[in-house]
Structure 1
Amino acid sequence: MGDTENTADRPDRPNNALQAALEGATAQSPPAPPDCPHCALPQDRYPTLYDGHWVLLEPRIFVPAHTVPPRRRWVLTPDGNAMNLWDAEPLPGTQCRIAHRMVCPYLEPEDRPLWATALRKENERKSQRLFNLPEDWNLPDTG
């Protein structure tokens, strides 16, 4: 009884690639290293619910979900995928992850809580250690 040949996206089903880009799920897939392409800091990389799209999450950072702005809260599903909670109101005590782009020192700051600004500054300090070695720095003599 319906047109089963029509496979065009409906307005209520957003394009996966566009939605993934809006949520920051733009990381390179394996076997590429899970490093930020902007600051080169290593991240936790997870597949998303958008086929073929991966997201870099800040490693070892779990924060109370109610302190993270809507559409910036990521949780891991039982099958190991990362899922953005969008506007869903978190239950009390819920912990979530944040995408690295929220605190990357080389990306334009987004709307974020005060703790995220502190984390961004810490990431900036870490990334400087990777690139800005003193000119007179040498490897220690091991012999």
Structure 2
Amino acid sequence: MHECDADVLTFCATSDHLARCQDFSSLLPLKPTIVKAYTPADAGSELRTLLLKRRGEETAKKFGHTLFVKYGGHLLLQEITLQRIIDCAQAGRLETRDRLQKEISWESNWLDKFGESLLEVVHTIFPLHDLP
């Protein structure tokens, strides 16, 4: 377990030891990707824009506007995880919640709260019927 879990995250974000609470949104480091290198498409840029918007909205809702302004959306979704979601979406690897869990290694309580909404955003840009 990380030094700070989701239940004490608000405390972490409001105290001076935020630096010790790095990477709290994932228990495990991301595994090496098996997604082949690709040239980012317009759809990937559109997905990034939507995910950044959703990340900001959800972060402000969960932690409050003040903490969102002070620390940004990284409290909820780190850049490396966001990029992993985009890579996997473009490769057609995010069909289900279980697959999302396998790809980003979030704790189940975070996945329960935010996984379905992330998949909804992904599937607006990369619909299930269009996946390779």
The two structures have a TM-score, normalised by structure 2, of: 0.31
Larger Rg over CA atoms: 1
The structure with the largest strand share of the pair is 1
Using CA pairs below 8 Å that are at least 6 residues apart, which structure has the higher relative contact order?
A: 2
The structure with the largest helix share of the pair is 2
The two structures have a TM-score, normalised by structure 1, of: 0.29
